[in-house]
Amino acid sequence: MAVHLPKPQQGSADYSAKFTVPAFGLLEKSTALSKEFFAALHLYGARLEDLRIEGQNTGNVTLALHSFTPSNFIARLRLDSLQITFHSLETIGPENAKQLVLDCWRAIHEIDNSVEPERHTIITAYQFAVSTGDYKTILSNFTKMPKGLPAGAHGAVAFYLPGGSEIGDVGGAIVLDRMTNGELNLRITMNVDGKATPTSELSGYVETYINKILSALDIEVEVNS
């Protein structure tokens, strides 16, 4: 039986890309890199005062941009990785979030086109307002609560996908659990082989992956008309 979920109340996403080798070439051109990085993120409302350098006394200098207004995201470019957190997908919009990732890669390649990802990891999480009874009904499609547990007990379910599976190049996970405020949390993790999947095709991969996950779980999510 299909599980019908209302429009999500809120959503967030984390993107990270591990580089095949440390990108020391970026550090050599830090001024030009800062200019390209800021120019890419300025399109999404980032301001100059949002830009900062972190970890200057450590082995991994980080160019970071904390833009909480208006798009609510943090982007960090390290010598070994690119990391972006979107705190509110409903604020920036999923399509803008996908394009922002691609724009960051374009900025990197403007400075050093030899930088390539070993692996992409994308984690998306959506929260849905459901009643306690609805939560139990939804979870009953995937797991059965033991009779010996107290009546007020709640369960959660997780599925871990192996590497090389049909819907995950390097594996992934799907978790359905209950937030402290009672909302249903749906979290999907996808690991993508950076060598096998060009960055330009990443957004299409993510969309296909999520659709396959929801279809496999027989979950239907209400969307804006």
Kindly report, residue by residue over 203-223, the tens digit of the pLDDT: 888 888 888 888 988 999 987
Bigger pLDDT: 37 or 153? 37
Percentage above 70 pLDDT, the chain: 95
Query: Average pLDDT for residues 59-69, to the nearest whole number?
Result: 87
Residue 187 pLDDT grade (very low, low, confident, very high; cuts 50, 70, 90): very high
Instruction: Give the pLDDT of residue 205.
Output: 85
Q: Compute the chain's Rg from CA coordinates.
A: 20
C-beta of residue 45 within 8 angstroms of C-beta of residue 69: yes
Helix/strand/coil (H, E, C) string of the chain? CCEEECCCCEEEEEEEEEECCCCHHHHHCHHHHHHHHHHHHHCCCCCHHHEEEECCCCCCCEEEEEECCCCCEEEEECCCEEEEEECCHHHHCHHHHHHHHHHHHHHHHHHCCCCCEEEEEEEEEEEECCCHHHHHHHHHCCCCCCCCCCCCCCCCEEEEECCCECCECCCEEEEEEECCCCCEEEEEEEEEECCCCCHHHHHHHHHHHHHHHHHHHCEEECCCC
Residue 166 pLDDT grade (very low, low, confident, very high; cuts 50, 70, 90): low
Instruction: Give the pLDDT of residue 127.
Output: 95
As a whole number of angstroms, the distance between CA 196 and CA 13 comes to 22
C-beta of residue 173 within 8 angstroms of C-beta of residue 161: yes
Instruction: Give the pLDDT of residue 43.
Output: 93
Query: Average pLDDT for residues 13-30, to the nearest whole number?
Result: 92
Residue found by looking up tokens 């957004």 in the block: 203
pLDDT in tens, 114-129: 999 999 999 999 999 9
Question: Is residue 94 reached through a cis peptide bond, with omega within 30 degrees of 0 on the bond before it?
Answer: no
Distance of CA 219 to the CA centre of its chain: 20
Q: Which of 78, 31, 69, 33 is nearest to 49 (CA)?
A: 69
**pLDDT at 157 exceeding the cut of 60:** yes
Q: Tokens in use for 65?
A: 């941009």
Instruction: Give the pLDDT of residue 225.
Output: 47
β-partners of residue 38 are none
Instruction: Give the pLDDT of residue 165.
Output: 60
